[in-house]
Structure 1
């Protein structure tokens, strides 16, 4: 079995990207699938791209296995979402390794505090907790993390 190919997302894939995003988010147990949630995520993708996202997908021979949204100028990993059918296959680790090729010296990210599986994974991957703060748009308490390449001055 070959690994999915990480490549830039195309605008005609935004509906599929939103579906992967929703299914991955729902798999955390923090939300229920709904047409409302899917519509909000669909609408958010072009807005976020306009605000600076660089959007990638993991393409498994035409099926989208994951989405990755980076804000390169801000050194920010905004979204790393793996479709449930692809979870547990090291695809998240591949996406993080790819992120480190795009942001080789430093990466910031936020993770919902209740998504313990995700933030514990980021900690195992070398991210250091910096602070918690409420996200005003969603009301979620967010854990803020930072990763710096070893040997890189603070």
Structure 2
């Protein structure tokens, strides 16, 4: 199955646990040196009670399985996580195109400084570094970078 065979759609309440599990697997695979600040149960609860009901949450569905998620809060790209087996297959590019379509005036996001692959991905998609922080504003207390994307004028 290719990325083109995967459906992107708004998340339903029933997607919360599967999306949380994608987040947990992706976090563990992409950030092995970063301490996850919340237990798996807390992450699943947060997806069920907060993320899906209160934010613009999209999921990628391969067959009947959630394999990725994108979360927007206005111009803030809050989450972009893929199941580790789906990295490098174009699904992140599709999510990024969707995010830019949903917020054509621009986007901002934060990613951990140690997450080199994510940083390269965002920079490849036109995001520029706006600020580095010491991590005091995130739950993991991990130094991060705030990126911004502003569309080019026509």
TM-score clears 0.5: yes
Aligned twin of 1:43: 45
Aligned twin of 1:129: 129
1:13-28 mapped onto 2 (5 Å cutoff): 13-28=15-30
Q: Are 1:3 and 2:5 matched, yes or no?
A: yes
Report the TM-score, using the length of structure 1 for normalisation: 0.87
Q: Are 1:110 and 2:110 matched, yes or no?
A: yes
Q: Are 1:30 and 2:33 matched, yes or no?
A: yes
Question: Residue 48 of structure 1: CA displacement?
Answer: 3.5
Listed as ranges, the gaps of 5+ residues in structure 2 are: none
Aligned twin of 2:120: 120
Number of residues paired by the alignment? 147
C-alpha RMSD of the superposition:
1.9
Distance 1:111 1:32 in 2: 14
SS across alignment from 2:111: strand
Listed as ranges, the gaps of 5+ residues in structure 1 are: none
Question: Residue 7 of structure 1: CA displacement?
Answer: 0.4
Report the TM-score, using the length of structure 2 for normalisation: 0.87
SS across alignment from 2:39: helix
Distance 1:64 1:48 in 2: 15
Q: 1:11 to 1:125 in 2, by over 3 A?
A: same
Tell me if structure 2 keeps the 8 A contact 1:131–1:143: yes
